[in-house]
Amino acid sequence: MKEFTLAPDPHHAGLSRDVDGIDQDGNQTTISVVTEQPLTLYLNGQEILTMMTIGDYPELLAVGYLLNQHMLLEDDEITAIEHDEDISTIVVRTKRKTDYEEKLKKKTQTSGCAQGTVFGDIMEEFETISLNPDALVKTSWLYQLQKKINTVPSLYLKAGAIHGCVLCQHDKPLVYVEDVGRHNAVDKIAGYMFLNKISPHDKLFYTTGRLTSEMVIKTAKMGIPILASRSGFTAWGVDLAKQVGMTLIGRLRGKRFTILAGKERVEFDLTGNK
């Protein structure tokens, strides 16, 4: 697969705007700030939730959210995705009849930004997940990945205040998306993988955000065995990664990183001292 089949477009109209302000010396300045807009998601005829998002790739976000909340199943047939920008809604229609009224009553707010949620029955499903034990990540790949990711034009470099997630294979970044909430960025990648029938078993997931329980759960549900971040960990995130057999790599900056789970998948072909 070629690098960056999907990448950020920091010049896309509507994703950011210039705002005038005053700097530390009292001088006028103008900076770019990311935008937020509501997007109300429907599954067939049922309203699911309203998300705050930057507004790009709404189809990927909608499908990925439903997948990660186990409202859309791996064998479901999507018959239509209808996005109405004027009224900020998106409807995902499936061949299977759905009714999640009771499930919606049980949702639990997580530590994710904005509307990140995880349902109680997802934890039951989590216990049955099996990740590829033969997946491999070389330290040289990690160093190459962060260099490529950190230098590609992005909203983060233009305006900050945003999270990025990247689907990778070996030392190649494949799909790079951003959003105001890290869970939104994860869901966009989940949606992309589902709609494009991409196998997760030899992939690495990179995020700019913290390695929380939510990040581990969603990455595991996507079937991806390796999760890496330039940020740190939460204790429950580490516990869940160990439980499901995931490789968890954090504080990845330059040639420094820390592995707190799944070290058996890491090949130290290039160390920070070389």
Closest CA to 178 of 201, 147, 157, 199: 157
Pairwise CA distance, residues 42 & 47, whole Å: 4
Alpha helices by DSSP H, 69-167 = 101-105, 120-126, 139-151, 155-159
Residue 152 has pLDDT above 50, yes or no: yes
Pairwise CA distance, residues 42 & 62, whole Å: 9
Which stretches of 23-144 are assigned E, i.e. beta strand? 28-34, 37-43, 46-53, 78-84, 89-94, 108-109, 117-118, 137-138
Contact 198, 225 (CB under 8 A): no
pLDDT the model gives residue 13? 87
Q: Amino acid identity, residue 201?
A: H
172, β-bridge pairs: 169
CA distances from 134 to 44, 127, 144, 217, 247 (A): 39, 20, 21, 20, 11
pTM of the model: 0.90
Sign of the CA dihedral with 230 first, then 235, 237, and 240 last: positive
Residue 108 has pLDDT above 70, yes or no: no
Contact 228, 266 (CB under 8 A): no
Give mean pLDDT, residues 229-249. 97
Q: Set out the domains of the chain in order of their start, with CATH numbers.
A: 37-117 (3.10.20.10), 137-267 (3.40.140.10)
pLDDT (tens digit per residue) in 113-138? 444 444 456 677 788 899 999 999 99
**Confidence band (pLDDT; 50, 70, 90) for 2?**
confident
Residue 86 gets which letter from DSSP? G
Give mean pLDDT, residues 214-224. 94
pLDDT the model gives residue 106? 59
Q: How many CB atoms lie within 10 A of CB 27?
A: 8
